[in-house]
Structure 1
Amino acid sequence: MTAGRPFGLVHVSEVALRPNDFDWAGHLNNSVYVQLLETGRWEWGLACGVDLRDSRLVAVVLQLRLDYLRAVDWDPVGRLAVRTSLAERSPFSFTLAQDVERTDGTVVATGRVRLGLVDRDTKRVHPADLEAMLEVPGRAA
């Protein structure tokens, strides 16, 4: 990747936790981690200048790997950070590496998400040309 391209960005999103994010054992529910990663992906895309909300393209998850490393204990007003960066590219997909971290920097989970692009109307797979995504009609970031 060429230096200066927006997709080389490592973006950190701070996400507030909610009381209902925790399970009966007082730990952050496993399903919440997937939501945290999704928030991180959206914010990474917006930080890179891509907003697909009104675009003809839709990003779809092709593969998700999530490793839980440490428990996050009950803290209904706590915050976690999601660090997102581009890990791999191929003609029809791209993979993001994501870490979920406590405010002290301790990594509590790591994820890798492979995404593809699909045309909203035709449902056809679209090449994952990330630079071309900057030119796709949609809301300005």
Structure 2
Amino acid sequence: MIDIEIEHGKVLHIVVLAISELMVATGEREVFFQVNGQLRSMKVKDKAAIKDQKVHPKVDKSKANQIGAPMPGQVLDVKIKEGDLIKKGDTVVVLSAMKMETVVKSTVEGKVKKIHVRVGQQIQGDDLVVELE
């Protein structure tokens, strides 16, 4: 319990009830608390967690040699490896989002230069998935 005297004779009694898990997309946590017995909640930026968070590179849509994630999801499978020659329409990655599988296909042909994701990784829409030479 925290007591804050805002002016002489006026005291706020604050009780923190719970703090949510980090919302990765926003870097926020929701804090649930009571002020003088009334339930409240607010979202707070967690600056310490944001520092530890790795920012995944985004696809540059002006570059045809980059393939991005069409939506947020978890990487279920990576169908290619670095050095592979792929054709337009080849499956590069399989994502799972909201119990649905989404196949990410190559939009051009080329040689796989770098794979930017791994199986089990959570990614956001427009995150860079594969780079071609």
Bigger Cα Rg = 2
| Higher strand fraction (1 or 2) | 2
Structure showing greater relative contact order (alpha-carbon pairs closer than 8 Å, 6 or more residues apart): 1
TM-score normalised by L of structure 2: 0.28
TM-score (normalised: structure 1): 0.27
